[in-house]
Structure 1
């Protein structure tokens, strides 16, 4: 089977594996930055930036089949833009609103989980240039 014929379930499984790794990177970077004294919202932004670079590198080589129109800079811009709306948006809202209710670290986990659930199609759009 060629990589162009990679089944959707294989892509979903690989995306989940990368997502778990990426979530661990995001959470670890966030934790270190908060413990170093940076504000949670700023720590969230920096941790997300590290995680999105790793996520794009792995997903664009292993999870998805690159579109014939794939251009590294454009694909990364689409990936980072959609990720900023989905992942960064959900984790920022969670880190901003939920700490008084559940604490800053559980809030970060909630934000990561919500973003991960939405990111598959955004990543597929940016790398494979399709949504369906």
Structure 2
């Protein structure tokens, strides 16, 4: 095993990806449902991503990074929530840009584009969530 990868990080990564599978299922099902109802694909992505994002925050706070405890002060909880929203807004922007690039510029279908973009953003999302969103104050755990 690589020296800098601890068992805790591996467990967090696996848990993060299990939560991510659920988030992706919520996101993907809502996205395809909205497309089926005729919603413009970028609007569908914003709505679907928002639903997955809410689920992600709740489950990753509690199970992946164990930050759902009630002993944390309200300002720290708010700070974490703001970081989560900022990080996910950046990821959403990247997702929209990549979706548009694959769909509009390169002619890839909307659903296939969604799959490709999801694969591309998973590792980036874990890294940012671990190192910034859910990191302990003063720590880059």
With the length of structure 1 as denominator, give the TM-score of the two structures.
Answer: 0.84
Structure 2 portions without partners, runs of 5+: 1-6
- Residue from 61, 64, 84 that aligns with 1:79: 84
Which structure ranks higher in relative contact order (CA pairs < 8 Å, sequence separation ≥ 6)? 1
- Residue from 95, 115, 126 that aligns with 1:91: 95
- Residue from 120, 124, 129 that aligns with 2:126: 120
Deviations, residues 34-66 of structure 1 (Å, cap 9, x unaligned): 111111111111111111000000000000032
Structure 1 portions without partners, runs of 5+: 1-5
Bigger radius of gyration:
2
Bigger fraction of residues in helix: 1
Maintained 8 Å contact 2:60/2:66: no
Number of aligned residue pairs: give it: 126
Maintained 8 Å contact 1:22/1:51: yes
User: Secondary structure in 1 aligned to 2:38?
Assistant: coil
